[in-house]
Structure formats: C-alpha cells, structure tokens
Amino acid sequence: MLTRLARLAINRPKSVLVGALLAVVACGVLGVSVLDRFKEGGFVPSDAGSARASRIVDTHFTGVQPNLIVALTADDGADGPAARRAGGTVTEWMSSHHDIGGVRSYWQLGPRDGAALRSKDGRTALITARIDADDTDLPKTSRRIKADMPRPDGVTVRVGGYGPMTNELNSQTIEDATVGEAVAFPVSLVVLVVVFGSLVAAALPLLVGAVSIVTTLAILRLVTGFADVSVYALNMTTLLGLALGIDYSLFIVSRFREELRAGRGLDDAVLRTVRTAGRTVVFSGVTVALALAALIVFPVFFLKSFAYVGIAVVLVAVLTAVLVLPAALALLGHRVDRLDVRVPLRRLFRLRPPHAAADVAPERTRWYRMVVVVTRRAVPVAVVTVAGLLLLGAPFLSSKWGYPDDRVISASVSEARQVGDLLREDFAEDASAATTVVLPGFDGGDGPVAAYATGLSRVPGVSEVVSGAGTFVHGAQAAPASAPASRGLVNEAGAVLRVGTAVDPYSADGKRLLSGLREVPAPGERLLAGAAAENEDVLDALADPLPLAAGLMALAMFVLLFLFTGSLVLPLKALVMNALSLGAAFGAMVWVFQEGHLSGLLGFTATGYLVANVPVLMFCVAFGLSMDYEVFLLARIREEWLVSGRATTEANTHAVALGVARTGRVFTAAALLMAIVLVGMGISKVSFLQMCGLGLALTVLVDAVFVRCLLAPAMMRLLGRFNWWAPAGLRRVHARIGLAEEAVMPASAAAARGDEAR
C-alpha cells in the first residue's frame, strides 16, 4: 500500500498536489460554518439522575433552575432609590423578553421574601431567570441578551449565570485557539530552521500543519451533522492536527534528506522514505487514533466528540504526510535544501561550514556517545530516572476531580465569573450552588411536601428550603405557601423544592451536604439536580468506564507493538515507560492546577480539584503521543538490529546507540515543536485548557528527553537480546501477519558499504 502511494507521488506529483489544494479549498469553505454548531456542557451523561431532573425542571418549572443571574450594585444600597429604579427597569425588560422566563427579582419579592437575593453588605441584589434555549443556541442567545441588557445610570449591572458563561467560554475558546496558532507558527518556524537550516525544508512541515488545521475544521463540521461536538474540541483538534502534521512531516523530510545525502536517486529516495519513515508514521498514527478511540466508551459527549474528531484528524495528518508531502518532495528534489540561512550567517561570523549529516559517521555524533555513556551505566541511570519520574508523579496520588464552574475562566475576561465571585463571597446563599429536588408525578398534597421540606432544612449547610408548601429554615416554617417564592413549585408534572446553601458544591462539605439530602426520606420518587448532584454523576460516569478504557488502550498498544517488532518484551517495556512519563506529568499538573502553585504566574484560580473530564482526555491523548515517540525510536533501532546479524548482546546495544544517533536530534526537535504547539493552548484564559496544553507539553518533553534518551537505552541495554524475544509460535504468527517489511538497510549503512566497495 505504501509503495503504491509512493509511486503515485513520484509519477504524478502535480496531480496529487493539485488534488490536495482543491480538497483544502473545499474543506475551508465547509469549515467556515462550524463555529455556530458547537455545544456547551457534555460533562454529564444524558441518562444521569441530575440530567433527568434538569429536563423536568426546565420543561415544567420555568425559573426554578436559573441560568441567567443579573447583579445590580449601588453605592447607596439595593434598597436605595437608584437601585429600585434600575431593578424595576431591568426586571420589566427581562419579563417582556421572549427568550427569558421565570424571572425572580429582589425588588419584586421584597426584603423579606427576597432576602437570599441581597448581598450581606446590602449593596448588591439579584434578578434570576431562565433563558429558553438548548445547548447549541444558548451561547448565541445569551450573547444577544447580554448585549441588549439595560444598564441604567447610577448602578453597576453585571450579567452572569450558566448561559452568559457559555457564551464567554465559547468566545474565549475560539480566541485562544487563534492566538495559540498565531504564536505556534512563527516559533515553530524558528525551531525548524535551526533543525534543517533550509527555509524550504522548514516551511514544508508548517504547510502540512496548516493543511491539517483547515481540514480539521471541515471534519468538525461534518461530525456536528450526526453527533454533539463540544466547543472545547476546537482547541484540542486544531492544535493536535497542527502538532501531528508538523511531527510527521519532520520525520518524512528528515529521512528524505538523509536518503539524498546517502547518494540515492530522487525517485529511490522518495520510495525508501515512504517505505521506512512513512511506514513508521502510519503505525504511529494508528497508535494515536486507537488511544483517542478509547474515549468512545465514556457516556459523555465532551469526551466522545474528541474521539470522533481526533481519529479523523490523525488519519488526515497521516495521509498528508505519506502522500501529499512525498509528492512535494518529488518535485523539489535537492532543492529541498535551498535557502540555507546558515551559509550567510557563518560567512558573516567567519565560521567554518558545518559537516553534512552524511559526512559524519553515526558513531562520531554526540547522540551516539551519550547512549554509550548511558548503556555503560545502565543500572544507576535506570534507577535514578525511574526514581525521579516517581517523585514527580507522587502528587497525583492525592488528586481530586470535580465539575467545572465559572472559575475555569479568568475574571479579567468574564463578567459571568465576576458575578460568580460575588455570589460566593458576598451572599449568604449562592444562587448557582442551590440543589433542586424533583418529585416527578407527585400529587400527595402540601402535608407530605411540608414534612419533607422540614427534614431537608435541618441538614447541616442548608440555609433554606423553598417548596410549594412554604419556606422552611432549620426545621421551622419561615414563610407560608402563599408567599411569592413558593409559587409555581407544584403542578401536574409533580413538585420541586429549592434547597439553598452557601456551601461550595464541589468541596468535601458539598459532598456531605448532598449525602445528607439523600438521607432524608422522600414522599415518593426523588431526583436531584444542581451543581453538587451533577458533580457526583460526572465522577460516577467517569469512574466506571475508566478501567475499561485503560485496558483497551493497553491491549491495543501491546498487540500493535508486537506486530510492529515481533517482540513481547518491547511492548511491555513501552507500556511501563509510558505509565512512568504520564504519572510524572499528571503529578506536576496536580501540584500546579489543583494545589495552586504558579497560579499567579499562569493567571488561573485554583479550586482544589481538577476538572474531571480533562485528566481522562489528557490520559488518552498523552498515551498516544508517548507511544508516538516510542514507535519512531523503535523503528530505527529495529532497522539497525535487522542488519546487525542479531547475534549478540553487543549487537543489540550497538543497534540501540545507532538508532538514537540517527533519530535523537529529529525526535527531540519533534517533541520541542509539539510542545510549542501545545503551549499555545497553555496560554488560554480557560484554566482546564491551560492544564491540558501545559500537561501534554510536559508529557511530550519528559517522554522525549528522560524516557527515550535515558531510560529506554538503559533498559534495552539491561535486557540485551531478550528485547526481541517471543515464543516460537508467536514468531511464526508475526512472520505471517506482522507489520514488518524485509530488512531495510539504513542509509547510513548503505553509504558506508558503498564507500567500502569503492
């Protein structure tokens, strides 16, 4: 298959490039409309109890679960004339708006019934309501409402709640993706110029990366036609497309230049590049795609959307690298080394010209000498490296996961975040932290509801319980059923009770409060909605499938690496080293983002937990990326091993050193480039995108520097010929269905033998 693709690129390079250009233009046109089709949320399973309760409340009890919170602050207080006039104006406007329902205003309820809507210092009061829109339209509708919201003189009006927060997160996510790519491209170009010297060679990976981004937008648009896609998929998939496009192109271009410098003809260089580096790229892409595919087992569309789109993006990056890029190389030929910026710079500083890679024997490179040093001290290197990785990963043992709230976005760019901070700090009851208790189909009258509300109000941490039978505080009735706050809480769909609290729903106290509410006997079927209940359902939804996802990834990688190498030992070693590098990166993320170290420098608010879906996403992506570099390194080591005679432990060590010598500079440059792209996500104003970008960048760098350069050579030296062991039966299976080709003589060996013949 790869040979046919290579010959197509060699024989019809212009046709391939024109076809690719037309495909990119079509993708660009198709991808333009994708920004309006993303959905918010996707963290809670649709069949979870909190999701079912929310659907009942949203359909039959308008306003009970508000997603729009307007805060009005006046210097002379919420009961002063300026605040009363402004509150009346805003309340009237909201009540007449066709997209807003269930308006509850402090100035309508009055100081007694609306006490929970007034701040402790008396300067701020709230208007709560429900925006009638689904997850797709909610950001757009919220944006229009916020823009049109009256802002009378004499008061400060701030618009918050879940609806406006979705709009701000949407806008910030798109802006961050654009800024991240704008930063990544020029910095990546500088690194590529340092690696290649030639501007032509350096530009090729960036062009492939740009093609991947445009194609990704089209893929996102197609996926939205049959599945829900999270707005956060935009950042991850565009940056993943850019990173993998650059990564794979770097290996292809490097191998092509190596083959040319070894004296091969143009067509033969392209063919052998695709059959060696191209084969490795294909296999690497399959490993990344399988790692992302594991996300499908989770019952939340936030993760599922990354699986659908991520797999497609990886396949596009692979196809571009093994077909479109070879066609460009076939046309460029030796001109791939044109515009070498090192020539004028060295002339300016009167430096000697550099040696071409083909002129330097692998055994004379710094990479080879480094591996020799490592393998001579394999035991202490392995022990120290493993101990260091375990030390870095130790904080992950105390990790805590939770549901995201408005604190994930910086207060400097989010009015909704500012409202959220007001609710947490200045109000006796946080309107966004309330738990809604739903009694579906209940028609038992006020007596059982009153008794149930009384019991709920006694739970520690509950400030009040508002029900159709009245308002209850600490086991006593504080307001009658006829009070405005109790209206609309009972109808033919059942009854609801609103449990007010100032307790952080994601804290340990929030969990205890939810457990206490569940322990109170209910007068019928009971469902709980609200932040605390959603948090519990999210954690349950992730905990159950997580072992299955991890097991599927491990099994898939083990089988694929066996088919790739013919060994049972190397796949097991790769899984163990992956676990160590992932553990180190995740431990660092707990130390930074959960415990809050460097929060001032990075500009985020530590909440004491990690957004639950993000570590799962990071695990699958990072697992695939780590295996990516394992594949690139093993591929070259295996090439050297196959031509070594495979007879002695020394031959194994020499193959390891040669493999690292020929690929070390390339895969560390690839890791640096991928880290640069991922750090583009790390400058986001959304904290869990920051964590994802910086965490993945750290994983890639730790894996490339410490694992591939130190631990992998040390372990392969200790294992010796046992690296390549498999039972006789499995060796026969590998010979029949394995992914290995015939032994391909590396360009370095070919050049050396050619010199000997001359």
Provide the CA 33 distance to its chain's centre, in angstroms: 22
Q: Identify the pLDDT of residue 757.
A: 35
What are the pLDDT digits (tens) for 19-43?
999 998 998 898 888 877 878 777 8
Q: Identify the pLDDT of residue 733.
A: 83
- Mean of the per-residue pLDDT values of the chain: 86
For residues 85 and 92, what is the distance between their CA atoms, to the nearest angstrom? 11
By residue count, the chain amounts to 758
Q: Identify the pLDDT of residue 462.
A: 93
Q: Identify the pLDDT of residue 467.
A: 93
Sign of CA dihedral 194, 319, 264, 266: negative
Provide the CA 299 distance to its chain's centre, in angstroms: 17
Rounded to 5 degrees, what are φ and ψ at 104? -125, 120
Least confident of 353-362, 452-461, 478-487, 497-506: 353-362
What are the pLDDT digits (tens) for 392-420?
999 999 998 888 888 999 888 899 999 99
Which residue did the predictor score with more confidence, 520 or 739? 520
DSSP string of 185-233? HHHHHHHHHHHH-BHHHHHHHHHHHHHHHHHHHHHHHHHTTTS--BTTH
Q: Identify the pLDDT of residue 83.
A: 94
Q: Which positions ≥6 away from 710 have C-beta within 8 Å? A: 374, 381, 385
Which residues are registered as beta bridge partners of 104?
Answer: 128
Q: What is the average per-residue pLDDT within 446-452?
A: 93
State the number of CA atoms in the 13 A half-sphere of 79 facing the CB.
Answer: 11
Ramachandran bin of 65, using left for φ above 0, alpha for ψ from -120 to 50, beta for the remaining angles: beta
Q: Identify the pLDDT of residue 734.
A: 80
Q: What's the pLDDT band for 327 if we cut at 50, 70, 90?
A: very high
Q: Identify the pLDDT of residue 589.
A: 92
Q: What is the average per-residue pLDDT within 322-351?
A: 78
Q: Identify the pLDDT of residue 411.
A: 86
> Strands 610-611 and 401-402, how do they pair?
parallel
Q: How many CB atoms lie within 10 A of CB 521?
A: 8
Q: Which positions ≥6 away from 626 have C-beta within 8 Å? A: 577, 578, 581, 582, 699, 700, 703, 707
Q: What is the average per-residue pLDDT within 205-214?
A: 84
What are the pLDDT digits (tens) for 623-656?
888 887 788 788 888 888 877 766 677 888 888 8
Q: What's the pLDDT band for 756 if we cut at 50, 70, 90?
A: very low
| Sequence letter at residue 678 | L
Q: Identify the pLDDT of residue 47.
A: 87
This prediction's pTM? 0.82
Q: Is the pLDDT of residue 352 over 50?
A: yes
Q: Are 129 and 66 in contact (CB under 8 A)?
A: yes
Which residues are registered as beta bridge partners of 129?
Answer: 68
Sign of CA dihedral 633, 638, 639, 644: positive
Which residues are registered as beta bridge partners of 156?
Answer: 73
- Residue with the two structure tokens 């500009």: 603
Q: What is the average per-residue pLDDT within 244-264?
A: 86
Q: What is the average per-residue pLDDT within 604-624?
A: 88
Which residue did the predictor score with more confidence, 54 or 627? 54
